[in-house]
Each structure stands twice: as structure tokens, then as C-alpha cells.
Amino acid sequence: MQILGIDIGGTGIKGAPVDVKTGELLTERFRITTPESAKPKPVAKVVKEVVEHFAWRGPVGCGFPAVVRQGVIYTAANIHKNWIGTNAEALFSEVTGCPVKVLNDADAAGVAEMTFGAGKDQFGVVLLVTIGTGLGTVLFVNGVLVPNLELGHIEIDGLDAELRASDAARKRETLSWKKWTRRFNKYLVSLEKLVWPDLIILGGGVVKKFGEFAPYLEVKAKVVQAQLLNDAGIVGAALAASASLKSPE
């Protein structure tokens, strides 16, 4: 089955058709910069452009940077506050004319990694951390997702962790890999004390430089690099849409 996966991020909105049996992207990704305001209507317009780029008429899965429950947005850390209370599934379905499934973007990346990537066949407690504009966290217990785990906002040194340890913070403050990793490691240690994972998977664009910062990490759990990298959100969104089609609802 082929499903269009879309990953909505703080800086870019990208998508591609996905073979949900293999996890492979069937074309090159198509990316558009996230509208500056990141309000519902401008973002929905870009989602429509992505759908139209592929002349898509089937199911669509969207990863979204917020807590999502039954298609409704509940938080807005890296998007406009007007999203809170908005039914994103209904909005995107209306503008695209396609059935749309929306889930937390980190959850989407986690589903992809657990199905096709570094978490495949891994049981126990697996924690995925996506490092980008913010910090996304995903928890799996014996392969079962705990949705909307917003641990990117725990307090580190008196501030929201995202303001201290995200890749955006590294770039904003022009931190060296060593200095940034000290901050990020403190964040990981805090997470480890909360959920005691058997495995930690690090994802997001920054893990392309895994070798630059991995030597400075000091946690008890095994830490590995995500395998799907920037494709994880797209693949996971498509998988979630596929699963929703098969559910009794």
C-alpha cells in the first residue's frame, strides 16, 4: 500500500509517497518552508501544496509538532497558539480532499524507527529523542507506543530543555559540539532518571553528525543513531495513516 507521508516541522514541511510495507520513499521528498506565522490556514495551504505536488488522491499521514489527541491540537510550543483546539485532521482533510491522519511528529518518527530502523525487534523500554528546532521524545514499552510524551519541556538549568539543548539552541548560540553535548547529556541523564530506558535512539537532522558528539555522551543506557534520519517523520506518518485505515474506527 502507498500512502503520502507529510512531516510538519518548525522550519519546513516535507512529504513523499511511502510504501508502508517496506518503509521506502517512492520519490524524492518535496519540501516547502514552514510559513513564518505557522498559523492554521497558512500551514494547511502548504499541506495542500504538498498533496497537489504529488497529484495525490489517497490517504495522507501528517506528523505535527504538538500534542495531538483524536486529530485535535492541544499544545503549541513551536507553532502559533491559534492551533490549540484546532482539529487538524478535519482542516487538512477539507483543504486537500483526502482522508488525513495527524499524530505527534516525534511519535511518527518513533513508529518508523521501531518498525524499520534502529528499534526494530527491540523490547523493554526504548526512548527516542528527536533533536531539531525542539526536542521530541517518544517512549515504547515492549513495542507499544506511549503517545504525546512531551519531555522536551522539562526544566534544565532553570529553563525549558528545548531552550538549552536543542539543535536550534546549538546554532543560535554557536556552541561547539563539546559544549552543546554537555548540555544535551545533562538532559539525557534527567530523562534516564525519569523513564530508565534500556535503549536510547537519537534522531533528527543533527544525528548526521553523531560521530561529532557521541563520544561526549555519558548515560547508562545504550545510545544509538536513528537509521531513517530525516525520512523517519514521513515514513511514520504514513504508517500511522495505514494503521488508522485498518482500525475498527
171-213 pLDDT tens trace: 999 999 999 999 999 999 999 999 999 999 999 888 999 999 9
C-alpha cell at 240: 500511522
pTM over 0.85: yes
Give Cβ neighbours of residue 93 (< 8 Å, ≥ 6 apart): 99, 100
Residue % of the chain over a pLDDT of 70: 98
Q: Are residues 43 and 133 in the same domain?
A: no
67 and 125 belong to one structural domain? no
- With cell 552543546, the residue in question is 180
Does 85 lie in the same domain as 179?
no
One domain for residues 98 and 129: no
Place of cell 538549568: 157
Quick one: 100 and 126 in the same domain? no
In a domain, 205, yes or no: yes
CATH code at position 206: 3.30.420.40
Whole-angstrom CA distances from 225 to 5, 179, 202, 233 are 22, 20, 5, 15
Instruction: Provide the grid cell at 120.
Output: 526494530
Range of the domain at 37: 2-107+231-246
Q: Model confidence over 29-86: pLDDT tens digits?
A: 999 999 998 999 999 999 999 999 999 999 999 999 999 999 999 999 889 999 999 9
Above 90 in pLDDT, residue 132?
no
Is 112 among the domain residues?
no
How many folded domains does the chain comprise? 2
- The answer, yes or no, to whether residue 99 has pLDDT greater than 50, is yes
